[in-house]
Structure 1
């Protein structure tokens, strides 16, 4: 495994651009590990409606970055007390959505620090029923990234201040507040630990899980390409905010795989626009599924016909086609 040096950059747009550039361009003959720490920011899941996930007034006033990532899942808050890790490997269908495989070496390091850490739910690392890490994945079909957060000493009050967390998510977890569900790793450490020291301990612990690491510093040309990706994608309003549609029908439901929230614009009986939001994890981009439905009549028979050869699990994970069609149109 090769460790990618991010040269201590803390701009979330640059770090996400670096991650995607490495995923799409670095040699498939090697696995890669990337660590990064971001300035205060909200990182939005690929399929989420940004405008409904953030507290706009608070975000603007406090100059918090808002950036969409390429993987699914929910919105998360980053700051200087949060360490992000990213494994970049070849695509393997058995590894996709297998969060246990990629979190196991991280959990081992946490246990060595005295934390009774374990993977729970879909994709959370928890200690004493409190979340200290969330993870997500994205696959190009050839390569995949499995990345996550580690809350060492983040400002948890900002999680509540900066994010608008939907009641359906809170209720589904049986808790009254976001703050009650998350904790910092520092709360469980006997000796205080700076983020830099924590980063080094984690890196050394991961070394033990693999062949000796080698570090890689990007060339000037590679950094130029990363900055270009940042400017053309991660700096743009269209990428970070631009999926918010005009709609006259909203249908949403929380499944075991996450929430699916549909915004449908129907005019004279035809689907003029169709947008899918949510915190689910899927392999295929939902834009492809949306495109299939646009232009068709908003009727069950027509929807069934359009989707007859579509495997919806590719877009959402383990959900049946009948369940999705019922969400789109209703009825049994």
Structure 2
């Protein structure tokens, strides 16, 4: 087992790029362990509809990263109080979905620290009925990642705010997250422990449970390749939002000018069709506005740019453009 040094990087897009690069390009005859800590971010599962998982107003206001990972499962919140672990190993056809095998050494270390953790359900680590870790896997066919979170001292208020989604009428085939009762590992420790000390204790415990480790530092050439992957994939709207499964959503609100009821159909992250109904009064055909929105990324900034030079008075009367955009984008 070789421990990969991520050199303290906390950008989630870079860390996910590093993880994928190691999976695809590091020595296939060797097992690897990677730790990383991310600054505030929401990490979306591979098969999820990003829009269904996040609170866009709060995400934008707090500059929280939204990044899609290559593994399945649900959306999770990361901050500097959350430690992520990743085992990169061979895939022999037997290990995929075998979460017990990969979580066992982590659970053992936690138990030795006095935290009565155990694997419950398919892929969660719990203390009593409180979730302290969720895990996921991804396979290339020959190699695989088994990775997970460890909620050490995460700001639970931020978890609730970032992942709080309004009850709009959304229909999609995306894999929806199941919210669980969560807790921090620090809640179960007999004495205070810093994140650095916790990370070192976990690493030392994993060392003891395996063959001797060595630490690997990436070359500058390898880091450049990681940065390239980040730029070409994890930085892109097309990956983080555009890869969402197709879905449709209803946005409805009553304004002074009357009620607006929109049915929005989204495919590959772009508006593929939109119908606007209501009891408002307008001189211009609403179909003209609908046509203007076809093909636009379903994202507030993109909608603003598309409607920047358009006067909506002819369609709705004296409705401020910002109110229409907020309704359409779900940021009202």
Task: Tell me, yes or no, if the aligned pair for 2:82 and 2:153 is still in contact at 8 Å.
Answer: yes
Asked whether 1:109 is paired with 2:106, we answer no
**CA RMSD in angstroms, aligned pairs only:** 2.2
Provide the residue aligned with 2:123 in structure 1: 123
Provide the residue aligned with 2:46 in structure 1: 46
DSSP 3-state at the match of 1:181: coil
Cα distance between partner residues in 2 of 1:51 and 1:65: 14
Provide the residue aligned with 1:190 in structure 2: 190
DSSP 3-state at the match of 1:9: coil
Cα distance between partner residues in 1 of 2:92 and 2:49: 29
Asked whether 1:221 is paired with 2:221, we answer yes
TM-aligned CA deviation for residue 243 of structure 1: 2.9
Cα distance between partner residues in 2 of 1:21 and 1:44: 19
Q: Go from structure 1 to structure 2 and tell me whether the alpha carbon gap of 1:73 and 1:166 turns closer, same or farther (over 3 Å shift).
A: farther
Provide the residue aligned with 1:230 in structure 2: 230
Q: How does 1:43-122 map to 2 (within 5 A)?
A: 43-122=43-122
User: Gaps spanning 5+ residues in structure 1: where?
Assistant: 168-176, 251-262, 266-271, 274-332
DSSP 3-state at the match of 2:19: helix
Cα distance between partner residues in 2 of 1:60 and 1:133: 26
Provide the residue aligned with 1:37 in structure 2: 37
Cα distance between partner residues in 2 of 1:235 and 1:212: 36
TM-score scaled to structure 1, two decimals?
Answer: 0.70
TM-score scaled to structure 2, two decimals?
Answer: 0.70
Task: Tell me, yes or no, if the aligned pair for 1:52 and 1:164 is still in contact at 8 Å.
Answer: no
Q: Go from structure 1 to structure 2 and tell me whether the alpha carbon gap of 1:164 and 1:227 turns closer, same or farther (over 3 Å shift).
A: same
- How many residue pairs match? The answer is 245
Cα distance between partner residues in 1 of 2:21 and 2:79: 23
Task: Tell me, yes or no, if the aligned pair for 2:48 and 2:244 is still in contact at 8 Å.
Answer: no
Provide the residue aligned with 1:152 in structure 2: 152
- Which of structures 1 and 2 has the bigger CA Rg? 2
User: Gaps spanning 5+ residues in structure 2: where?
Assistant: 168-177, 251-264, 274-332
Cα distance between partner residues in 2 of 1:137 and 1:123: 10
TM-aligned CA deviation for residue 249 of structure 1: 10
Any runs of at least 4 consecutive aligned residues in structure 1 with deviations exceeding 2 A, and if so which? 164-167, 243-250
Task: Tell me, yes or no, if the aligned pair for 2:119 and 2:125 is still in contact at 8 Å.
Answer: yes
DSSP 3-state at the match of 2:229: helix
Task: Tell me, yes or no, if the aligned pair for 2:47 and 2:244 is still in contact at 8 Å.
Answer: no
Task: Tell me, yes or no, if the aligned pair for 1:67 and 1:240 is still in contact at 8 Å.
Answer: yes
